[in-house]
Amino acid sequence: ALVIAVEILGVRSLAFATGSYLSIATTGAMFAGGLVRLLVEATTKKKDESEASPGALYSSGLIAAGGVFGLLGIIINLFQDPEISNNVPHWLTATLRLPWRPDLFAFGPKILGPLATNNLFGVFMFLMLAASLFYFARKKLE
């Protein structure tokens, strides 16, 4: 019944489904991307509906990089787990010198100091990514 009501109202079902099961943090980033696209379309004369537009390609690269670094973070956290030596072969524990120190890859506090845990700095970096998306989305695809 809900799907029928959504279709009758003319709401895109994929957007509705995405917004209903993903967290606000995830949908907030998607909303920000939509706002950047709206700004790009408002400031450029030509509407680029192609899937190979510079903005779409740049966004896809950001998403792929986020996935790769997410997996890398999972692997690093796994190797820092104190219980890992009980769950992997001994030769692997000896070769990789497991478990690793928890601060081995803590580059944020080492490089940025207290900025690494500052929420406003995180918002600033997110806005810088949005600005870079705006810049690259306006460029012509060569």
Per-residue pLDDT tens digits for 41-89:
899 876 656 667 888 889 899 989 999 999 999 999 999 998 988 888 9
DSSP conformation letters of 68-103: HHHHHHHHHHHHT-TTHHHHS-HHHHHHHTSSPPTT
The structural domains of the chain, with segments of one domain joined by +, span 1-43, 51-142
pLDDT value of position 142: 62
d(CA 41, CA 134): 10
Q: What is the pLDDT of residues 17-53, one digit of tens each?
A: 777 888 888 888 888 988 998 999 899 876 656 667 8
What pTM did the predictor assign? 0.71
Q: Which parts of 1-142 fold into alpha helices (H)?
A: 2-9, 13-21, 24-43, 54-79, 84-87, 90-96, 107-112, 119-138
CB atoms within 10 A of CB 133: 21
pLDDT for 3 beyond 90: no
d(CA 43, CA 62): 23
User: What three-state secondary structure class fits 126?
Assistant: helix
d(CA 46, CA 142): 15
